[in-house]
Amino acid sequence: MGYLLARSFRDARGEGVAQTKSALHSSDGRITFHSLVGKFFCTSVTLASGIPLGPEAPSVAVGAGIASILGRKLGLSPAKVRALIPVGAAAAIAAALNTPIAAVLFTLEAIIGDLNAPVLGSVVLASATGWMVLRLLLGDEPILHVPPYQLTHWVEFAAYTVLGVAGGIVSGTLIAATVWLRGRFNLLPPKTLWIQPLAGGLVVGAAGWAVPEALGVGYGHISDLLSGKMVIELAALLVLLKVLTVVVSSASGNAGGIFAPTLFIGAMLGGTVGGVAHYLLPGSTAPPGAYALVGMGALFAGVVRAPMTSIMLVFEVTRNYAIIVPLMIANHVSYIVSRKIHVEALY
């Protein structure tokens, strides 16, 4: 895959959201069919090999590419082609995550950067349509099956605040490490471009050999944590291993997104903090699974820098409203701390 990414599909390197934003702000909004095919194919094969990145962000690039191609085929003006890019992105992310409302918020927050964008109506319609097609093809099963949780005691707000601080530290560190390491890879001679993704494969392979749970996207392991089937020590170890493998895999140029690994790391971090809190105050705290849910949102808010999207994303993925206030607290604390560590967003 490193050879194909260097020789044939250079646009397919990375996660895809940055390329989508670049096309949105270019003069003609042009995304080529060649780029679309490369992103789809290279991401599919890379993720199938066990690289711990995700398919959601590349889906944004594919959806935006389809919109750009269709707009040009219909003879639309460059301005209207650019306006279609976030519409296609919203449809793709709604189907990729089964979260139509979060898809709208993500498109406005992370891609357009304006919650009052004039294409809001089109984005909403496209998101709903993409979600409807998903339901027709695959049904309405949520990504994660979550037991019912509720706030046990007011003292938990302190624990969720600590989780927000921890989430911000991990988020900021992940961004800073990825940007730094990507810069080191960019300093290497151009002739090494094809072999650079191998660094990610080697690190992931070594980690997966020692701890198989470190491989792949990991939604199944999140479900295990939510249902109490994972020990907290393993969750804590997976936080460290996933941060390491995701940073090296992404910075070295592998095709794949950071949505899924962000949710995974957040769940493991939340489960770890929740496990400690439950051990210290067993009668006043919820099980670790509740903290895992909040941790997912906290990491997403800190890494993607889209706090409103992260709240709605966790709610739609889990369909659990009971932890919405702790989620709001932890997400915004994580967002603030992450910006203090590294002011620029990963995108």
pLDDT at 145: 67
In order, the DSSP letters of 182-247 are HHHHHTS-GGGTTTTHHHHHHHHHHHHHH-GGGSS--HHHHHHHHTT-S-HHHHHHHHHHHHHHHH
The total domain count for the chain is 2
114 and 216 fall within a common domain: no
75 and 179 fall within a common domain: no
pTM of the predicted protein model: 0.91
Q: In angstroms, rounded to a whole number, what is the distance separating the alpha carbons of residues 297 and 88?
A: 24
What percent of the chain stands above pLDDT 70?
97
Non-local (6+) Cβ contacts of 238 within 8 A are 211, 213, 214, 221, 264, 265, 268
Indicate the DSSP class of residue 115: T
Show which of 138, 164, 179 is a domain's final residue: 138
Task: Assess contact for 330 and 158: CB atoms under 8 A.
Answer: no
**Domain contains 148:** no
- Name the residue among 264, 312, 325, 315 with its Cα closest to residue 103: 312
Residue with tokens 């780029």: 35
- For 23-32, write each residue's pLDDT tens digit: 888 778 888 8
pLDDT at 195: 92
**pLDDT band with cut points at 50, 70 and 90 for residue 96:** confident
**Domain contains 147:** no
**pLDDT band with cut points at 50, 70 and 90 for residue 185:** very high
**Mean pLDDT (the chain, rounded):** 88
Question: Residue 11 sits in which domain range?
Answer: 2-138
97 and 221 fall within a common domain: no
**Domain contains 242:** yes
- Please, how many CA atoms are within 13 Å of residue 188, restricted to the half-sphere of its CB? 14
Q: What is the mean pLDDT of residues 70-84?
A: 91
**pLDDT band with cut points at 50, 70 and 90 for residue 148:** low
Show which of 106, 138, 170 is a domain's final residue: 138
179 and 211 fall within a common domain: yes
